[in-house]
């Protein structure tokens, strides 16, 4: 799953560590999310969307492959 996390994080000038601390996960989780290797739980997706002041739909880019989950 693709996300806009890295783009939004860089726009705000926030490091991966700062974002991880803000949403109560590890830096490795942020790295994995940005690289598309990890799918966020609904709770984490909500926290990230709140942090960036966007909707979950604006933050995560769903494609047809994701519909088969």
pLDDT digits (tens, 9 = 90+) for 30-64: 999 999 999 999 999 999 999 999 999 999 988 76
How do residues 3-19 score in pLDDT, each as one tens digit? 999 999 999 999 999 99
pLDDT in the model for residue 5: 98
CATH number of the domain that 42 lies in?
1.10.260.40
* Position 67 in a domain: no
As a whole number of angstroms, the distance between CA 30 and CA 44 comes to 11
pLDDT in the model for residue 63: 74
* Number of domains within the chain: 1
CA distances from 47 to 29, 44, 64 (A): 13, 5, 24
As a whole number of angstroms, the distance between CA 1 and CA 15 comes to 21
* Position 69 in a domain: no
Pairing of strands 60-61, 2-3: antiparallel
Please answer whether residues 60 and 1 qualify as being in contact, where contact means their C-beta atoms are separated by less than 8 angstroms: yes
* Position 23 in a domain: yes
- Structural domain span for residue 6: 2-62
């Amino acid at each position: 799953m693709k996300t806009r996390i890295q783009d939004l994080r860089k726009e705000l000038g926030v490091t991966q560590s700062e974002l991880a601390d803000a949403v109560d996960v590890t830096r490795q989780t942020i790295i994995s999310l940005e690289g598309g290797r990890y799918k966020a739980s609904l709770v984490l997706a909500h926290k990230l969307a709140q942090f960036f002041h966007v909707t979950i739909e604006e933050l995560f880019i769903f494609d047809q492959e994701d519909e088969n989950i």
